[in-house]
Structure 1
């Protein structure tokens, strides 16, 4: 797709299973496969949310598999994180994912009402929301982001219509929002994203994305209900490119819409379908520092990867 000012958006590839991380199996591995049978590779079942760490590893939550996939294409490694059989702090429905500056992994569990924290290796560290003394407060945690510099964790609680701001120990420092459709109010908020000085919140059933500063002060909103250009029907996730434009996944329309910060629709890509560049119930979205756009194509059980080529002078402060 050719865009204004020499910009381009290009579909690159998609992936869906552990086998694609290590595509070139050697002769001896293939010989073992003949004798013992081909290995049972893990694959995406119902992927939902996505992020990447500082080493470029792609981390995908999968409530259908009750776990988290880590795809490391550079090192040709794969890992699956799960805690299904644990009597204490079992992770059953991993929803959204974020990483901190040390690449620790934070996963919300919408059913357990907790945040699970893992080391970069996948080793379990702790759960937030299951300790005594003011925790156990989440009804349905969904979106999550970590501000390592300020030592803050931001979490949307969809059923409470609020964003919780926590310290790194899980203590509540602040709540943002309340039920409603006014500025700074929510109706079933889901994903959120930190971008530069801003906190972006997908306000799903108000059919918009609201933008706050990191202290929780309302800045602006994009989107509206309807079936016209620029309207949102089922927004699911949001991310920001190097030029500061906002990408919003609309699940039922099967598209990604791209807005500027004035709320104007610049373009959209995708359509309902199963071919390259088409989506069925897309849910997650992440844009890395190289403007590589990862879209969780949930019902098609895959991740689709696009490359945005921006102008040479990105907007200052737009880094994610």
Structure 2
């Protein structure tokens, strides 16, 4: 079970203070491939034998530490002495069991629960760490999820699920019971992402639109279905979008949109008014190549996963790069990804990262906070961690 710490009041971004030296050093080491600080050059013969559990790597002060890999109930279940002895004698690796999901396309987390959306099985899997159980929600007719591709969660633990087949957002309470749905299917072409304000008063749907039409947009709704505002259409000017894929609403109410075709993050106030933007295309630190998902933490920092770099870059609200977590890798070691996608951050500051190639969801805790029991002890099986 994850041990949640009590968050103390502190200045924004205080957790990342002192990272400028680390970022500068890593920039010299790997400006092009964004693999982070590592003592082993990318592509070397020893790459498969080495792994990085702390980010940044020593001798820099770690900010995130690999904590666990969540694939099935074995990863959160207590292991009895009998099970442990049986595993040792038979050589059976519980982590080698198949994951419950087939394509982890979206993540949401709060109060020790991780939600994993899997459109291939039309399911939402819940890893309930306090109860050490894995179960499904969204399976009851007539409100069954068909193709859940994006999720968000509010301060009341209500889960907002974007179903691309139904072209609407389905809302479930903290027990997993359906409450209501939002969105007009006639307004949406190819919905891709959902975001929600902490109080649930603004539900934002990201529509990547058509290939040859300028209908790329973001629509904000009230819980009763009333449209609040729209952002778009397609273009490169401030407030215009080009293949938007995802969005997040920060603690202060600022809406950040992943404008992937323009290789930038655009920020808007609570009424949809444009505030600022940052980002550019490139293969260096702080730029984007194939940005996929976006999330934010309690301090307002912005996290962006990139399927080209196979890492998660972390920015201040104004777009200054703080650090990154992860790197490209086929060995399926902690922090190595081949097809990174969904990410989320919970109220404790834990970062969850999904990889669709390795079929895994990894958890990184902030350095110095409590760790996980059971899961972290078994995370080293099969060479995944020491």
- The bucket for the TM-score relative to the shorter chain is 0.7 to 0.9
Judge which range, 95-104 or 235-244, deviates more: 235-244
Aligned position for 1:298:
356
Does the CA-based 8 Å contact 1:114-1:136 persist in structure 2? no
User: Which of the numbers 221, 241, 251 marks the counterpart of 1:166?
Assistant: 221
State the superposition RMSD in angstroms. Answer: 3.0
Which has the larger strand fraction?
1
Report how far residue 107 of structure 1 moved.
0.5
Matched pairs, number: 295
Instruction: Name structure 1 gaps, 5 residues minimum.
Output: 29-39, 311-320
Does the CA-based 8 Å contact 1:16-1:303 persist in structure 2? yes
Aligned position for 2:154:
100
Matched, 1:195 2:250: yes
Indicate the SS of the match to 1:285: strand
Indicate the SS of the match to 1:51: strand
Matched, 1:284 2:342: yes
Which has the larger helix fraction?
2
Aligned position for 2:237:
182
By relative contact order (CA 8 Å, sep 6+), the higher-ranking structure is 2
Q: 1:108, 1:217 → 2: CA distance?
A: 24
Aligned position for 2:176:
122
Aligned position for 1:32:
none
Q: 1:261, 1:121 → 2: CA distance?
A: 33
Q: 2:162, 2:225 → 1: CA distance?
A: 13
Does the CA-based 8 Å contact 1:18-1:41 persist in structure 2? no
Indicate the SS of the match to 1:71: strand
Pick closer, same or farther for the CA change 1:91–1:70 going to 2, 3 Å.
same
Instruction: State the TM-score, normalized to the length of structure 2.
Output: 0.69
Instruction: Name structure 2 gaps, 5 residues minimum.
Output: 1-54, 84-96, 210-214, 369-386
Q: 2:75, 2:176 → 1: CA distance?
A: 20
Pick closer, same or farther for the CA change 1:240–1:106 going to 2, 3 Å.
closer
Aligned position for 2:203:
153
User: Which of the numbers 249, 271, 285 marks the counterpart of 1:215?
Assistant: 271
Matched, 1:144 2:198: no
Q: 2:360, 2:173 → 1: CA distance?
A: 25
Q: 2:354, 2:190 → 1: CA distance?
A: 21
Indicate the SS of the match to 2:74: helix
1:248-267 correspondence to structure 2 within 5 Å = 248-267=304-323
Indicate the SS of the match to 2:261: helix
